[in-house]
């Protein structure tokens, strides 16, 4: 696979601002482990190999267990995820693949039982951001693993 264009070089100011949002999200009300799961699940749904590769490596660096990563695609059937994680994954899926008539009330209510308003707002921005990154990297066919050194992902030892 060959990358189509280098969007970082073509739109450096926009890239810097979007990266700034990503960095702000690291200090959000959402714990790192959930941010990792959300990023991986959205990337799976969007078919973004670059982001999936990146976020699996980040999750491993952050201490995520390998079996949970394998179970993520089937989180509904897995016993490895807590209610708060399940709510975050449900919110991720519904916002990544928006239903024709919007977000169903039952999903919103389930998420609200696990997240305070500030947390839910921050989680929504997290999902919005990863979907933006997914769309950019899918559009321009960014090669998985091509930024490992730049982002320190070679430390994951998942070559």
Closest C-alpha to 107, from 123, 90, 124: 90
Residue 25 lies in a domain: no
The answer to whether 1 touches 140, Cβ cutoff 8 Å, is no
Helix axes 83-96, 117-139, angle to 10 degrees: 50
List the end-to-end C-alpha distance of the chain, in Å, as a whole number: 18
The counts of H helices and E strands in the chain are 9, 0
Please say if the pLDDT value at position 152 is more than 90: no
The answer to whether 118 touches 29, Cβ cutoff 8 Å, is yes
Residue 12 lies in a domain: no
Containing structural domain, residue 127: 32-153
Residue 17 lies in a domain: no
| Total of domains in the chain | 1
Q: What is the pLDDT of residues 18-58, one digit of tens each?
A: 999 999 999 999 999 999 999 999 999 999 999 999 999 99
Residue 124 lies in a domain: yes
Residue 118 lies in a domain: yes
Q: DSSP string spanning 25-89?
A: HTTSSS-HHHHHHHHHHHHHHHT-HHHHHHHHHHHHHTT--HHHHHHGGGTTT-SSS-HHHHHHH
For residue 145, the domain's CATH number is 1.20.1290.10
Counted residue by residue, the chain has a size of 159
Q: What is the pLDDT of residue 59?
A: 97
Residue 82 lies in a domain: yes
Q: What is the pLDDT of residues 85-99, one digit of tens each?
A: 999 999 999 999 999
Residue 8 lies in a domain: no
Residue 59 lies in a domain: yes
The pTM is what? 0.94
The answer to whether 39 touches 130, Cβ cutoff 8 Å, is yes
């Amino acid at each position: 696979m060959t990358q189509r264009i280098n969007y970082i070089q073509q739109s450096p100011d926009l890239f810097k601002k979007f990266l700034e949002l990503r960095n702000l999200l690291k200090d959000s009300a959402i714990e790192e482990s959930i941010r990792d799961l959300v990023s991986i699940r959205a990337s799976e749904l969007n078919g973004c190999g670059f982001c999936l590769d990146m976020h699996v490596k980040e999750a491993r660096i952050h201490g995520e267990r390998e079996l949970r990563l394998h179970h993520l695609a089937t989180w509904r059937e897995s016993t490895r995820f807590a209610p708060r994680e399940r709510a975050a994954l449900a919110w991720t899926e519904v916002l990544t693949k928006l239903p024709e008539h919007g977000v169903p009330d039952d999903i919103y209510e389930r998420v609200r039982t696990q997240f305070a308003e500030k947390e839910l707002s921050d989680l929504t921005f997290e999902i919005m951001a990863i979907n933006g990154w997914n769309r950019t990297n899918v559009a321009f066919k960014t090669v998985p693993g091509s930024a490992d050194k730049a982002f320190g992902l070679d430390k994951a030892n998942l070559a």
